[in-house]
Amino acid sequence: MKLDMVGVCSWSLQVKSVSELNGFTNKLGIKSVQIACGDPHHASWDEGDSMPVKAKEASFILKGAMLGFPGEDYTTPQTIEKTGGFGDPATRNERLERFKWSLRRVQELGVNDIMLHAGFIPPPTDSGRKSFLQTLETVSHLAEKSNVNVAFETGQETSELLFATLKELDCSNLFVNFDPANMLLYDQGNPIEAVEMLGRYIRSVHLKDANRPKIKGTWGEEVVLGKGQVNILLFLKTLKQVGYSGPMFIEREVGSQQDRYNDILYAVDYLRGLDV
C-alpha cells in the first residue's frame, strides 16, 4: 500500500508540543497529521495560542483537526453515553461555545475539516431526537459560515441510524470520520457493511483495530492494527470500492507513549506490506 495518504493522529503520540510531534512524524516517515485543536480547557499545547503558527511551520502537513470537550468521560460505554458530545442538553450551550472556538482555531491552522464525537444519536422513537438534531443543524450552520466541514466519528450508533440521521439533516457540510474499531469497541455492527452504507458521507478515516467486548455493556479491546477483528485489508479495499480516496490517520489510544510509538511504527510497516 502506498502511504502517501496515511497520516497519524497527534493525540495518539501523547505529545505536548509541535516540535515533539514533528520529531515523531519524521521518525515514522509520516507526512500528514490530524491534529488536536488544543482547547485550553481540555487538551492544551505548550505553545498555547501560537500552536497554529508553529504547526504550519512544521515539516508535516495538516489534514484536519479534532475537537474534544471538557467533561467527556470514557470510563465505560455508559459514562460516555451520558457525557459525550452534544448528548446532554445541560452542556449543549457550553459545548457550542467550544465549537465556535474550534472554528477559529481551524481557520488559524489553515484547514477546513474538523472531527468530533456528536454524542449518542437518539433513535427516531426517542423524544430527545428533535432537539439533538436541531443542535447538529446549529453546528452545521456555524461551520458553514467559516467554510468548514464537520465529520462525526462513528461508533456510538449503528451505521443505519447514522445514515438516516445525516440524510434527515441534509446538510452539505456534515460528514463521517470513519473509525472501524469504534464500531467494534461499542459493539455496533459490522464495519465493512457500514463503509458500504456510509460511503458517500465519509470525509476522513481513522486506521484503528479492535475486538468486540466479551461481556455486553462493557468496552471491547483496542489492539494493534491488523491484529483485531476489523479485517483491515478488506476494510481498505471496501473504502476503495465506494470511491473513497481521502486521508487516513493511524490512531492508537492505549499504552505508554513509547508503546504507542512502537505500535504506530508497526502499523506503518503493516500497511506498507498490504496489496491494496
CATH of the domain at 146: 3.20.20.150
The label of the residue with cell 480547557 reads 41
Instruction: Sort 111 into a burial class: Cβ within 10 Å, 0-12 / 13-18 / 19+.
Output: buried
| Nearest CA-CA partner of 183 in 200, 205, 150 | 205
Instruction: Sort 221 into a burial class: Cβ within 10 Å, 0-12 / 13-18 / 19+.
Output: middle
User: DSSP secondary-structure letter at 6?
Assistant: E
Please write the tens of the pLDDT for every residue from 152-173.
Answer: 999 889 999 999 999 999 999 9
Mean pLDDT, rounded, for 100-116: 97
**DSSP states along 185-236:** HTT-S-HHHHHHHHGGGEEEEEE-EEE--SSTTS--EEE-TTSSSS-HHHHH
- Kindly indicate the confidence band of residue 43, based on its pLDDT and cuts at 50, 70 and 90: confident
- Where in the sequence is the domain holding 132, given as residue range(s)? 6-272
**Phi then psi dihedrals of residue 165, to 5 deg:** -70, -45
3-state secondary structure of 171: coil
pLDDT at 78 over 90: yes
- Kindly indicate the confidence band of residue 270, based on its pLDDT and cuts at 50, 70 and 90: very high
Domain assignment of residue 219, yes or no:
yes
Domain assignment of residue 229, yes or no:
yes
| Nearest CA-CA partner of 174 in 267, 99, 104 | 99
Domain assignment of residue 258, yes or no:
yes
Q: Which of 20-29, 35-44, 92-101, 210-219 has the lowest mean pLDDT?
A: 35-44
Q: In the chain, what is the straight-line distance between the N-terminal and C-terminal CA atoms, in Å?
A: 6
pLDDT at 63 over 80: yes
User: For position 42, what pLDDT does the model report?
Assistant: 78
User: For position 39, what pLDDT does the model report?
Assistant: 84
User: For position 40, what pLDDT does the model report?
Assistant: 79
**DSSP states along 213-226:** -SSTTS--EEE-TT
Domain assignment of residue 179, yes or no:
yes
Total domain count for the chain? 1
Instruction: Sort 27 into a burial class: Cβ within 10 Å, 0-12 / 13-18 / 19+.
Output: exposed
User: For position 4, what pLDDT does the model report?
Assistant: 83
User: For position 2, what pLDDT does the model report?
Assistant: 80
The label of the residue with cell 466479551 reads 214
User: For position 1, what pLDDT does the model report?
Assistant: 87
Domain assignment of residue 1, yes or no:
no
pLDDT at 41 over 80: no
